[in-house]
Chain A
Amino acid sequence: MTTKTQEQQLGNVLEPQTETVIQIEGLRHQYGDRTALNGVSFSVKRAEIFGLLGPNGSGKTTMFRILSTLMLPGEGRATILGHDVASDPSGVRRQIGVVFQSRSIDVKLSAEENLIHVGHLYGITGAALKKRVAEMLARVSLTDRAKERAETFSGGMQRRLELAKGLLHCPQVLLLDEPTTGLDPGARRDLWQYLQVLRDQEGVSIIVTTHLMEEAEKCDRLAILSHGNLVGLGTPAQLKSEIGGDVILLDAQNPQQVAAAIQTRFGVEAAVLDDGRVRIEREAGHRFITDVVEAFPGEIDAVSVSKPTLEDVFIRRTGHRFWNEDAQGLERRAAGTTKKKH
């Protein structure tokens, strides 16, 4: 008996990365005429921090709503630990902890009362609940403010209480919608450290939506969304490695002309971005820029060379910059025209 349990435990330790916890297949969703998700598939493993990266309006929140059982998917399937979000919402709800982007705590109640209420919703009562509430309050450093009403808390403290609320019932899967919104850099760092502890010590699978590149870098794996399409999937390092060498950006007076000339002269692809800058991917960028600047004297105003970032991955996959997509999306919606699909 004892050996069997030990074996099981050992088994869990040996293969924590292989078990699929969340499976998403061909998820499609429409809001009226607008396509929010356009056939997205991916899976999330046990003890993994999985990021959903995309600008506003890319479909992250739609995905979050579907996974948290708040909305039925238009088409496709999503399962969490074998429970289908459409046909077995209660099964899913028992497994997941959810932290919303907006506030969901009751500010008229104290920190402790908020957590006790959540405990009751999840069927935890009595001494077990008391212990768990004290534990969670200590974990998010709110023990000394436990009896105070949440409306007296700072934004960071309220956020921490949200997290405690989502984790009170020890869920195997944690869904977080832009959890660091409104947090200062220190509080952001703390939150991410805590997510890593959950992953490493308790084997929690975490899905986190974000529009911040530096947060996406911290995820184990990423899905990059643009206009409801999955445009990238992999570890941050994998995604970045597909860009050869460095990324060079040029400010030129005639960007189209310069881009064309660079292409014919150096045989590398040069693209003009929405903001009028010329973008080139090239190994040994520092040497290449001297050649370019010498080749077009007086034409180039500024030059920058950098290691590829996730934003570069986004630009490469979609042809436009991360934030421009957002602005365009808003304009299109305002103009009432249908969104172009890629």
Chain B
Amino acid sequence: MPALSLWRREVVRFYRNVSRVVGVIASPLIFWVVIGAGIGNSFTNGSAGKSQNYLDFFFPGTLMMIVLFTSIFAMMSLIEDRNEGFLLSVLVAPVHRSVIVLGKVLGGTTLATMQGVLFLVIAPLLGIHFGLGQLALMILDIFLVSFSLTALGFIIAWPMDSTSGFHAIINLFLIPLWLLSGSLFSVNSASPWMAFLMRLNPLTYGTEALRNLLFPATASAEFSLQKCLTVLAVFTVVMFSLAFVVANRRSTKPAA
């Protein structure tokens, strides 16, 4: 119940903030139009390999980017909660710390998943078709990615007291994480050391799972759907546990 309440607050705060709602709906569309149509045309099929056109290749990557940014930045609200004093009142309540983490992270996850799915909905308009089974698995994939990344955002945001500091650290993480996720170029076409880093990046498995489900014909054998989802599930559990450990620490320093 406390987790549900924290989650609900997060969502209510979101839809009461008109600019955030507009941003969430508009940004996937803009990404698609600008990056897909604009840049997509200037690339040839070279980097994507096989006979797939780059626009299609790039679709899962764009989706991952949207989910990545929304998830991690959702936890900026943790810093706001701390500065506004709201977090303190939650911390003095008799609620297990894991419940607080769960409520907060689920809030961010909901927003990111929603945005990801919204982007998925426009796929048929662009000539990408899939069945309901695939849709369900893609939503699961997006959910796992959102949840683990929001938990990562939580871990980074917890000790921070300024949103600008958060921005700086996050950008350090976000750009490499995304560049090396198989969104722009596939693992097979990367140099060996790049490919090695990409195989370590959990986000790669999120992207590849999507690619698998959207374009079964051109799917890479290395990243089977099962493997991708397993890696993501493990990553999710690890991130959540770390977030709990971070939130559960008590020290002789002021909590805010």
CB within 8 Å of B: which residues of A?
Answer: 29-31, 65, 68-74, 89-90, 93-94, 96, 98, 100, 102-109, 113, 116-118, 120-123, 125, 165
Contacts and interface: CB of A to CB of B under 8 A. Distances in A.
Contacts of B256: 70
B89 A104 contact: yes
A106 B86 contact: yes
A273 to B, nearest CB: 33
A117 B5 contact: yes
Given A70-B88, A113-B12, A90 B94 contact: yes
Contacts of A107: 84
B85 A102 contact: yes
Contacts of A121: 2, 5, 90, 93-95
A88 to B, nearest CB: 11
In the A-B complex, the 3 residue pairs with the smallest Cβ-Cβ separation, listed nearest first, are A120-B5, A104-B89, A93-B94
Given A108-B16, A120-B1, A29 B252 contact: yes
11 contacts: A69-B91, A70-B255, A90-B94, A102-B88, A104-B86, A104-B88, A105-B86, A106-B84, A106-B86, A108-B13, A109-B12
Contact of B92 (A98, A105, A113): A98
Contacts of A72: 250-252
Contacts of A120: 1-2, 4-5
Given A96-B92, A104-B86, 19 more contacts: A31-B253, A68-B92, A69-B91, A70-B254, A71-B251, A89-B250, A98-B89, A102-B88, A104-B89, A105-B86, A106-B13, A107-B84, A108-B13, A108-B17, A109-B13, A116-B5, A120-B2, A120-B4, A123-B2
A126 to B, nearest CB: 10
B221 to A, nearest CB: 48
Contacts of B93: 93, 118, 121-122
A71 B255 contact: yes
B232 to A, nearest CB: 30
Contacts of A100: 85, 88-89
B9 interface: yes
Contact of A94 (B4, B85, B94, B250): B94
A257 B1 CA distance: 71
Contact of A109 (B9, B89, B92, B252): B9
A74 B85 contact: no
Given A120-B2, A121-B2, A104 B9 contact: no
Interface in B10-61: 12-13, 16-17
A70 B2 contact: no
Nearest to B256: A70
Contacts of B92: 68-70, 93, 96, 98
Nearest to A91: B94
Contacts of B250: 69, 71-72, 89
Contacts of A102: 85, 88
A136 B224 CA distance: 57
Nearest to B9: A117
B152 to A, nearest CB: 25
Contacts of A90: 94, 96
A103 B2 contact: no
Residue from B1, B13, B252 having most chain A Cβ neighbours under 10 A? B252
